[in-house]
Chains A and B, each alone.
Chain A
Amino acid sequence: MQDWYPLWLSLRVATTATLIAASLGVGFAYLLAKGRFRGRGLLEAVVTLPIVLPPTVLGYYLLTTLGVNSPIGRAWEDLTGSPLVFTIPAAVIAASVSALPFVVRTARAALEEVDPRLEAVARIAGHPEWRVAASVTLPAARRGITAGIALGFARALGDFGATVMVAGNIPGRTQTLPIAVFDAVQAGDQATARTGSLLLAGVAVVALLVVTQTASRRA
């Protein structure tokens, strides 16, 4: 493959997006698993939405929410001098949003599995809630949380529909590897399409292996 830019871009975007989805996702998962608060159902619905929507529809909503005609888009433009859409940060946002539900659902299930007596013991010992979370709940759920993050990474890496809408298919700038593969297929360039697809699959598999191996070794 003559052009390595899409691969390099995809790795950067997916890594950044996974960091965002992981920190937000584990936080939301914790709230949903442990909290009893008024907006809980709404939070759950919002966090599940990106899975339920077709990716291009999701991309369209992101486009109108972040575009030059939106409050967020205008604010970004005031701060940085150029629009948010069709930039690499936009691709990161699209990938983060797509990955978020995967992190939340898997992490939440893991957090709900934690033996409540372990948490009770920590509370009885006088630990404040954040310490119960940090020293008991999160460590006990780390395998599920790690799995969720790994899934999120794979999803972020492979995102197409939402990314192409909100970051565009601009070769050498925002063309991530999945978009490059699609573009190659449309151009009839089978060789590039094949290579790109293998690379995508390969990176995802390696990442998943690395993550699950370190998780089980720690156990």
Chain B
Amino acid sequence: MRRPCPPPRAAIAALICALSLVAGCGDDDTATSRADDGTITVAAASDLRFAFEELGGLFTTETGVEVTFSFGSSGQLREQIINGAPFDLFAAANVEFVDAVIDAGRGDADTRANYAIGRIVLWSPPGVDLPTSIEELSGPRHRRIAIANPTHAPYGLAAEQALQTAGVLDAVRDRLVFGENISDTLRIAQSGNADVGIVALSLVITSDDPYVLLDEDLHEPLRQALVVTSTGTRGDDARRFAAFLASPTGREVMVRYGFALPGEELPV
């Protein structure tokens, strides 16, 4: 049978929707069409959520520049920035992903800076016994263990390394549940879908929940780096944010959330 032509109604409908597509985003703020109106967008690893939200408020009070945060796994943010995401600053949970952004020509190498060192902890939801050490995870009591996805979340990679160093990775491998990023991982544990999670210290330190800090020798140090990814007025404001992060005010906030600062002693 001859191939039929698509009905003309479909063609008309396609035309209408193409127009409405254009119309529907008429009032959309796209990246470079944004006015330089004293707002910056920061892509930040999920472990920074609470610390940066506090910092953001303080920064705005001091400078008048508004900050919008987009939290996610460092790997996903890296992919997005390399492919054109219009963030002004990228604060990752490691150094490699920041270097990848710089190598792809999307970040200003002059602004690359280490700003924090992260720590991981064991955390259990209420009602579940918190293990006293990482070795205990190989026992039968903890049926599901949540960690962040090691391929794109540095905190997940650190968790995996810690399990490996402690000699229990093979025993627990089929009990692992992956979160998309480190705060997703905490959510999985909080909702009871896992008995225990290896999560970022910075996400649980300000709550009253008990946790067990994992020894930093168990994994590669979680050195966190940032880079400014835009230019012009926004780039300038982004640099101000990076500077604020390194200022005494900024450092005080970061320490309160359990981060160690580069060049200083790690907190206990």
Chain A residues at the B interface, C-beta cutoff of 8 Å: 12-13, 15-16, 19-20, 22-24, 26-27, 30-31, 34-37, 56, 60, 63-64, 66-70, 73, 80-89, 92, 129-130, 132-134, 138, 164-165, 168-173, 183, 185-187
Contacts and interface: CB of A to CB of B under 8 A. Distances in A.
Interface of B: 1-11, 13-14, 16-18, 20-21, 24-25, 28-33, 41, 46, 49, 68-72, 76, 79-80, 82-86, 180-181, 183-184, 187
A16 B33 CA distance: 22
A23 B85 contact: no
A55 B156 CA distance: 21
Contacts of A187: 49, 183
Interface of B is mostly: mixed
Contacts of B8: 130, 134
A138 B80 contact: no
Contacts of A173: 28-29
A30 B7 contact: yes
Given A35-B4, A85-B84, A88-B24, A23 B68 contact: no
A168 B83 contact: no
Given A27-B10, A86-B84, 17 more contacts: A23-B14, A30-B6, A35-B4, A37-B3, A67-B83, A68-B83, A81-B32, A82-B30, A86-B86, A87-B28, A87-B30, A92-B24, A130-B4, A132-B4, A134-B9, A186-B184, A186-B187
13 contacts: A15-B24, A22-B17, A34-B1, A67-B83, A68-B83, A81-B33, A82-B31, A82-B32, A83-B84, A165-B79, A168-B80, A170-B68, A187-B183
A85 B106 CA distance: 15
B17 A129 contact: no
B49 A87 contact: no
A22 to B, nearest CB: 7
Contact of B6 (A19, A27, A82): A27
Nearest to A64: B83
B3 A35 contact: yes
